[in-house]
């Protein structure tokens, strides 16, 4: 995510008719996983007048842990948007996020089956952002279960990651996504109001999206087929080895695209700035392909959206605030470079963004500087570093405890400014210092090896440090162990 510096003020029930049911059932399971990842097969139908999504989801889950699991946990992020008092938006940003006043958003679980049989389930957490599904005899290591969930999602009139505005419908962090099970057990962190409070595993997705045909849709994944029927359009989309699935819809999207290095870059915009966005995204993809290792996916989409926080990364798609297309070009370029860098750091190499946000944000912010250096030279990088990073640190010096940057969790922060100064700006400077200490050759070897070793996985800060020390010895340790 990025959006702080220039925005310092930051600032029904749908009857499930026979027609809808048939739409949900038309598309059979086609692409099962090769067994290395879980597979989500999701059907979405938008009821436009109520802004409700009727959905079904089939998760093919394999227990890759060493112990028997008696339950599975899923995040129900939309439930964070139920009540004004607990919505993950800062109080002074509520009027910006909800331009027409607060409106509720939620997810309602209607049915859960495990391997074809009705299963016990319950919601948990202060705002019911967790779903616990009981696994009747437990799933042993290596065993597979199919978890079917029927649910509906109410989109709020909110111009955040999740909701809708005048020009776009933003559907992100919206379906029951499996929590990560790691050495700490199930990670059940709620939707925190600062940072990008997400943590997930790479999975395969097959998603069918049905919307009134006046909408055009930008999404994670590759479009496999499009079908028109009775005023609706159904998009069949497949995405392999991604850690989330997001989509954005607009009646006014104009799509242009560019094919570079085995990737089609798409720019979907509604305010006329799509060409600039496409140029910046193309440059960013080429830059990071060269510096970190090749982007392995077929598509990358830049989606303009009604969005009050700058930019937000999702696998194979980035969400960019519409106003950035009208601001100075440098800000749009900065945002796009930052969000495209997240395709490497968050998308491909994942991490626990709640407890170790420096790992992706610090490196992504520094990668943004590398973009400017690669494309415009070392002097330009210095200027950008001075105006975007160092100035931010100098302005808010009181926030910085220099020996405690790397290991902050999101919970240490209760405002975006402090988070931005510590994790983004100081976080990027840790990389600058590391690079200066170990030299370019070893620093870029480190980034390339880190990418190669952890792509499609989740890395820890300790993994990054260990790799750095292996490559550059005590020069790296001296820097990284100081923060």
Residues lying near Zn ion in the complex (CB under 5 A):
1-2, 364
Give the Cα-Cα-Cα angle 303, 20, 157 (nearest 5 degrees).
40
Between residues 2 and 408, which has the closer beta carbon with respect to Zn ion? 2
Between residues 59 and 354, which has the closer beta carbon with respect to Zn ion? 354
Structure tokens at 181: 């099970």
Between residues 2 and 127, which has the closer beta carbon with respect to Zn ion? 2
First to last CA, the chain: 22
Provide the minimum distance between the beta carbon of 112 and Zn ion in the complex, in angstroms, as a whole number: 34
In angstroms, the CA 158 to CA 163 distance is: 5
Asked if 268 and 260 count as a contact pair (C-beta separation under 8 A), the reply is no
Q: Which residues contact 376 (CB under 8 A, 6 or more apart)?
A: none
In angstroms, the CA 85 to CA 398 distance is: 29
Between residues 201 and 361, which has the closer beta carbon with respect to Zn ion? 361
Between residues 343 and 364, which has the closer beta carbon with respect to Zn ion? 364
Between residues 40 and 416, which has the closer beta carbon with respect to Zn ion? 416
For 414, other C-beta atoms within 10 Å of its C-beta total 12
In angstroms, the CA 220 to CA 243 distance is: 10
Q: Which residues contact 439 (CB under 8 A, 6 or more apart)?
A: none
Provide the minimum distance between the beta carbon of 429 and Zn ion in the complex, in angstroms, as a whole number: 16
Provide the minimum distance between the beta carbon of 364 and Zn ion in the complex, in angstroms, as a whole number: 5
Between residues 2 and 208, which has the closer beta carbon with respect to Zn ion? 2
- Strands in 188-282 per DSSP E: 203-212, 216-219, 222-229, 232-242, 247-250, 254-260, 263-269
Provide the minimum distance between the beta carbon of 69 and Zn ion in the complex, in angstroms, as a whole number: 32
DSSP-assigned beta bridge partners for residue 234: 210, 227
Pairing, β 121-124 against β 254-260: unpaired
User: What is the maximum alpha-carbon separation in the chain?
Assistant: 67
Between residues 2 and 355, which has the closer beta carbon with respect to Zn ion? 2
Closest C-alpha among 143, 121, 117, 140 to residue 132: 121
Provide the minimum distance between the beta carbon of 410 and Zn ion in the complex, in angstroms, as a whole number: 13
Between residues 106 and 346, which has the closer beta carbon with respect to Zn ion? 346
Provide the minimum distance between the beta carbon of 473 and Zn ion in the complex, in angstroms, as a whole number: 30
Closest C-alpha among 261, 260, 68, 81 to residue 170: 81
- Strands in 125-190 per DSSP E: 130-139, 144-154, 162-164, 169-171, 177-178, 181-182, 185-186
Provide the minimum distance between the beta carbon of 273 and Zn ion in the complex, in angstroms, as a whole number: 21
In angstroms, the CA 423 to CA 43 distance is: 37
Provide the minimum distance between the beta carbon of 86 and Zn ion in the complex, in angstroms, as a whole number: 24
Provide the minimum distance between the beta carbon of 346 and Zn ion in the complex, in angstroms, as a whole number: 7
């Amino acid at each position: 995510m990025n959006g702080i510096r220039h925005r310092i003020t930051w600032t029904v029930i749908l009857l499930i008719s026979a027609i809808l049911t048939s739409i949900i059932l038309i598309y059979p399971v086609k692409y099962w996983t090769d067994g290395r990842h879980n597979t989500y097969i999701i059907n979405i139908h938008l009821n436009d007048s109520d802004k409700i999504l009727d959905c079904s989801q089939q998760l093919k889950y394999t227990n890759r842990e060493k112990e028997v699991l008696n339950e599975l946990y899923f995040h129900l992020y939309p439930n964070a948007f139920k009540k004004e008092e607990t919505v993950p938006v800062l109080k002074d940003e509520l009027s910006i996020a909800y331009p027409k006043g607060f409106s509720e958003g939620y997810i309602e679980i209607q049915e859960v089956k495990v391997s074809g049989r009705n299963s016990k389930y319950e919601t948990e957490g202060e705002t019911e952002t967790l779903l616990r599904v009981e696994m009747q005899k437990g799933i042993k290591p290596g065993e597979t279960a199919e978890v079917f969930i029927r649910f509906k999602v109410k989109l709020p009139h909110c111009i955040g990651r999740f909701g809708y505005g005048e020009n776009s419908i933003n559907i992100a962090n919206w379906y029951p996504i499996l929590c990560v099970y790691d050495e700490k057990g199930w990670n059940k962190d709620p939707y925190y109001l600062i940072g990008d409070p997400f943590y997930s595993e790479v999975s395969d997705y097959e998603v069918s999206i049905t919307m009134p045909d006046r909408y055009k849709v930008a999404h994670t994944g590759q479009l496999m087929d499009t079908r028109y029927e009775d005023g609706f359009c159904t998009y069949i989309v497949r995405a392999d080895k991604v850690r989330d699935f997001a989509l954005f819809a607009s009646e006014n999207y104009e799509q242009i695209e560019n094919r570079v290095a085995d990737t089609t870059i798409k720019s979907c915009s509604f305010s006329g700035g799509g060409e600039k966005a496409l140029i910046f995204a193309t440059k960013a993809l080429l830059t990071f392909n060269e510096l970190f290792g090749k982007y392995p996916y077929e598509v990358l989409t830049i989606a303009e959206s009604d969005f009050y926080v700058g930019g937000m990364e999702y696998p194979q798609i980035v969400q960019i605030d519409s106003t950035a297309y009208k601001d100075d070009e440098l800000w749009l370029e900065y945002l796009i470079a930052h969000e495209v860098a997240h395709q490497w750091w968050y998308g491909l190499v994942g991490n626990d963004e709640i407890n170790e946000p420096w790992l992706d944000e610090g490196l992504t912010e520094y990668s943004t500087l590398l973009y400017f250096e690669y494309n415009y030279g070392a002097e330009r990088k210095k200027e950008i570093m001075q105006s975007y990073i160092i100035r931010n640190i100098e302005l808010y010096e009181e926030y910085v405890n220099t020996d405690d940057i790397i290991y902050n969790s999101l919970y240490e922060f209760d405002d975006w400014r402090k988070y931005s100064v510590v994790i983004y700006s100081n976080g990027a400077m840790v990389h600058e210092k590391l690079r200066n200490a170990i030299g370019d050759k070893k620093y870029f070897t480190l980034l390339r090896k880190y990418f190669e070793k952890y792509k499609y996985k989740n890395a820890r800060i300790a993994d990054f440090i260990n790799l750095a020390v292996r490559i550059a010895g005590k020069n790296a340790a001296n820097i990284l162990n100081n923060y």
